[in-house]
Structure 1
Amino acid sequence: MSTWYRLDVGDLTQAAPHVANTQRAFMAPYLIAPAGSGRALFQRENAESGMVELFFTPQAGDVAGALGAVPCEKPGIDNGHIFMLAGDDELRTYFPGQQQQ
């Protein structure tokens, strides 16, 4: 299970309601999953395009697919700062050295 999922939610002026709705939809399955399930949701502002992107770990593919996210590679942190919206300690697991803000 190495396929990640990306959902583009618009630029910074449009993204907030989409991010909030996605986070709410993500939380129900996340909360009933066993601890350490690897389900996580990340947000990144793409430095090149200015668009906000949401990334789902492979373990959250069911939620990602239901929300219309598309398969993608694991996001890099060289194209914008990434931070975790939901998950346990997956930020350190998937992005060593990245600090949560």
Structure 2
Amino acid sequence: MTRWHALNLGDAMLADPELQRLERAFELAYGADHDAGEKALFLRHESEGRLHCEVLVYFTPATRELAREMHARPCAPPAPQGLELVKGDSAAWALFEREESR
């Protein structure tokens, strides 16, 4: 199993500045990378029955260096349902197909 990372940005109403910081860091790290197909950030709003939802950002295995810099925690691959591609190439969606075939 490949290692993903997750970072909880907290309350969705307050997460925008931190999300923008992550997006800028991604662009600085991988913006000119022509082989960035597996480098991506995905986002999901999760509420788990609470009144307010939290924003979770998932870093693909190819972005582990950035994930560590941002203090993201290792996690299992997220389920693709409800995810939104925030940064990276749409080819990164293929990672979920590979995970499902394992």
* TM-score for the superposition, normalised by structure 2: 0.80
Gaps of 5+ in 2: 98-102
Correspondence for 2:57: 54
- The structure, 1 or 2, with the larger RCO (C-alpha pairs under 8 Å, 6+ apart) is 2
Gaps of 5+ in 1: 97-101
Q: Identity, % of aligned pairs?
A: 30
SS of corresponding position for 2:19: helix
Aligned length: 94
The structure whose Rg is larger is 2
Map 1:20-99 → 2, pairs under 5 A: 20-48=20-48, 49=50, 50-78=53-81, 81-95=82-96
Structure 1 residue ranges (4+ consecutive) displaced by more than 4 angstroms after TM superposition: none
Deviation at 1:91, TM superposition (A): 4.8
CA deviation string 1:64-101 (max 9, x = no partner): 100110100111145xx1101111123531346xxxxx
* TM-score for the superposition, normalised by structure 1: 0.81
Superposed CA RMSD in Å reads: 1.9
